[in-house]
Chain A
């Protein structure tokens, strides 16, 4: 066994209480195998990588159990013997490729440093580097070696890091969310490269991810973690196709499918408790959110029991769970073409001039962020805008909101042309159009309470409302967005990610807009919380007949929500039309490539595709 954990427990000392952040984790990873650690943020999946690298946060310690690498104890061994292993026999691929490389050093210098450390003779180094970079399909190694990290794209940096990680032919590679920060098409390439290297060099791979579907394609075995506990452990295919633990089932069901009939996503209530909340969970840690929980679940910790050889589940009730009632089919019929047009964009474009230096000379070329495009949004219609980073989809949102002035073209709202920046057009835009920002952490002023945040727009009115009215409005909005009214006096730092995003949406709803612009509003959320937010948007559509421009990189989510969609690349619309039609029969090569790059729900469909590269 390359890596073996036996009843590993990691605890955090908080005041006088000890909280088990990772409880009783056992697994073994054989050479040439890929083990997936799947879980939502805060489940403890990164903790194992930190135990290996001895990089546990302060106050964290290994309570009991052990972790061994090729028979050598990693927990008790001396720092010297451990650091001899790290980087040489055990390598890491990080989550954020751009920050993992030193921006002040060329790729070559960082690579040489690593080769020196693993004892490659100086004369062999250039050849080794070129070969390693070719293995990760960087076809012009000399140029890459001479570059600084910021001159390369995120995907290229990640390939460099993979090349460095595999340079010493390690026995084990730990990859912590290696594709989360990257585009879909880049993700496919990275996965393909890592799988290829791992097979060629007989490396064992520990693949940490939040994406169950991705893990099902990449891994041989999967370990599902919830609140620091292994809830299910088994062959990847079995877990993905027939999950047994209620949490794994919920995780699988909460992810919208890129194919098949659309049904309303079942979503779990609340969210996973934070570390401090683990202490109060006496029995099964999933019990408070479990749809099938019984009184005993709240008091007794269930054991991890093998149901079939090789497949273990931490739930005694698996056989008693009846198949959940078939959820209702979803209506995403295209808005009636007779319903009125709310937003109309004609020939809309944005060109960013190159910045000029002190002498008036242009520094680099300008950027066509959005090339001329036309589209309409009708009342109650959800339009998806799909594209990878740099496709101009966020600039489009800023143009619609009036945060950028268009280089050409016009926007009409409710039949009125917004041709000048006057008080009336501003008023009209404010009353009709609102925006939900991507990152609620940054979009909510940390010094405002929830009440002040959701009713923030009232402060911009000339006439002041009485405070009771403002409070009542805040309560109504919290109610409408599924938030408890008790949260009204809280501050953003006291809310979970999902709650913050709901506050973010509630704030946009305060003016009762007819159209919302949502820029990647679910990309930072866990799957179960994402399902809650998506369903909230559908409910709003049913109740308020609100329209939505939904900007996303995730095709399945767009398919779930939107009846029509626009595919953008490099600022240009490459395909536009009804979602079902585009999914059934994509016309443009780029759209086809995008579909091919996303991991399919069907495990028999080989993924990543042979030629995953888009660029």
Chain B
């Protein structure tokens, strides 16, 4: 049985009573279920073309076909099915890319804050220089070098966004380093690695969780941009960015084919941001005190 300290129990309580956290978490659970059960939920294969019924409107409009609840695109593919399958790509990139960025950023942040001195100087300057590049341009340059593909997009996000974790978490590590339990652990014979893992990491975990959920939202947007410009998934895979790109030419006759994927992106990013913001409010001791 996991015994929770009073502190963590209180933190859980605050999380579960926060409308932001609840709304964000519910949306994300729904999205995860949709991604997981896509083959059962989707009425059609996302790549099946029905050239006889192209650009069908969604169900509430006059010429709608009940077989295609959200209508079809220029090639007669089912928009609902493509949206459902697109969730898989979006969440895959969100989870893997954000976790990767978190891993790299957190390790460097803890090492940098803990050892200080030259190591800290080097890592901090690297972050400064890295952050000076415009991220989208940097991503495009990286993808030109790495080649297209969804895993390359993930790699690009990790290589660009580790700095976000590194900078935020390093400052929290520095705060923890001023507490006496760090020298106390040194005196008790703890090795550097043990101090970092057992004393510092638990102290910065709430912040890591918060930044992670915000980063997931960012990863969804980056992936959509990259698949829009054709740098991510192959063109025969359903992704929200690809759907927007495909629908560009017929936007005026069939606006819904753009509106639905944009709506999906909006909802997913909103869910991650709500969760992140809610967690920050619930877990940040300074904010908790201020709100009484």
CA A491 to CA B187, docked complex, whole Å? 21
Q: Which residue on chain A has the smallest CB distance to residue B183?
A: A403
Q: Mark A380-408, 1 if CB is under 8 A from B, else 0.
A: 00000000000000000010011100000
Most B C-beta atoms less than 10 A away, residue of A426, A447, A459? A447
Provide the residues of chain A in CB contact with B8, threshold 8 Å. 447
Provide the residues of chain B in CB contact with A493, threshold 8 Å. 5-7
The answer to whether A442 has its CB under 8 Å from any CB of chain B is yes
Select the stretch in A134-142, A205-213, A314-322, A431-439 that faces chain B: A431-439
The answer to whether B12 has its CB under 8 Å from any CB of chain A is no
Q: Which residue on chain A has the smallest CB distance to residue B178?
A: A442
Q: Closest Cβ of chain B: how far from A489's Cβ, in Å?
A: 7
In the complex, are the beta carbons of B7 and A491 less than 8 A apart? yes
In the complex, are the beta carbons of A460 and B7 less than 8 A apart? no
Provide the residues of chain A in CB contact with B203, threshold 8 Å. 445, 447
In the complex, are the beta carbons of B187 and A403 less than 8 A apart? yes
CA A489 to CA B292, docked complex, whole Å? 27
Of the residues B3, B180, B188, B292, contact of A456 by C-beta under 8 Å: B188
The interface size of chain A toward B, counting residues with CB under 8 Å, comes to 31
In the complex, are the beta carbons of A442 and B181 less than 8 A apart? yes
Provide the residues of chain A in CB contact with B187, threshold 8 Å. 401-403, 430, 434-435
Interface of B is mostly: helix
CA A519 to CA B212, docked complex, whole Å? 40
CA A484 to CA B3, docked complex, whole Å? 20
In the complex, are the beta carbons of A444 and B188 less than 8 A apart? no
The answer to whether A449 has its CB under 8 Å from any CB of chain B is yes
In the complex, are the beta carbons of A446 and B7 less than 8 A apart? yes
The answer to whether B47 has its CB under 8 Å from any CB of chain A is no
The answer to whether B189 has its CB under 8 Å from any CB of chain A is yes
Most B C-beta atoms less than 10 A away, residue of A401, A442, A460, A494? A460
In the complex, are the beta carbons of A437 and B292 less than 8 A apart? no
The answer to whether A376 has its CB under 8 Å from any CB of chain B is no
- The number of A-B residue pairs with CB atoms under 8 Å apart is 67
Provide the residues of chain A in CB contact with B185, threshold 8 Å. 445, 456
In the complex, are the beta carbons of B5 and A447 less than 8 A apart? yes
CA A401 to CA B182, docked complex, whole Å? 13
CA A511 to CA B190, docked complex, whole Å? 14
CA A119 to CA B105, docked complex, whole Å? 56
In the complex, are the beta carbons of B191 and A460 less than 8 A apart? yes
Q: Which of A410-440 contact B (CB under 8 A)?
A: 426-427, 430, 434-435, 437-439
The answer to whether B179 has its CB under 8 Å from any CB of chain A is yes
Q: Closest Cβ of chain B: how far from A229's Cβ, in Å?
A: 27
CA A489 to CA B3, docked complex, whole Å? 9
Q: Closest Cβ of chain A: how far from B217's Cβ, in Å?
A: 28
Of the residues B7, B180, B190, B191, contact of A439 by C-beta under 8 Å: B180
In the complex, are the beta carbons of A443 and B188 less than 8 A apart? no
Provide the residues of chain B in CB contact with A507, threshold 8 Å. 184, 188
Most A C-beta atoms less than 10 A away, residue of B6, B8, B180, B194? B180
In the complex, are the beta carbons of A457 and B188 less than 8 A apart? yes
Q: Mark A522-539, 1 if CB is under 8 A from B, else 0.
A: 000000000000000000
CA A491 to CA B3, docked complex, whole Å? 11
The answer to whether A326 has its CB under 8 Å from any CB of chain B is no
Provide the residues of chain A in CB contact with B7, threshold 8 Å. 446-447, 491, 493
CA A48 to CA B192, docked complex, whole Å? 49
Given A442-B181, A447-B203; A403-B190 close (CB under 8 Å): no
Q: Closest Cβ of chain A: how far from B78's Cβ, in Å?
A: 50
Of the residues A403, A435, A457, contact of B189 by C-beta under 8 Å: A457
Q: Which residue on chain A has the smallest CB distance to residue B184?
A: A443
Given A437-B180, A438-B180, A443-B180; A58-B189 close (CB under 8 Å): no
Provide the residues of chain B in CB contact with A457, threshold 8 Å. 188-189
- Contact residues of A with B, CB < 8 Å? 58, 398, 401-403, 426-427, 430, 434-435, 437-439, 442-447, 449, 456-457, 459-461, 489, 491, 493-494, 507, 511
User: With contacts A402-B187, A460-B188, A493-B5 known, what are 12 further pairs, Cβ within 8 A?
Assistant: A430-B187, A444-B181, A445-B202, A446-B7, A447-B7, A447-B203, A449-B3, A456-B188, A489-B3, A491-B5, A493-B6, A507-B184
Query: Which 7 pairs of residues, A with B, have the shortest CB-CB distance?
Result: A460-B189, A443-B180, A491-B5, A457-B188, A437-B180, A442-B180, A445-B181
7 A-B pairs whose Cβ atoms sit less than 8 Å apart in the complex:
A398-B183, A403-B183, A435-B184, A445-B202, A445-B203, A447-B202, A494-B6
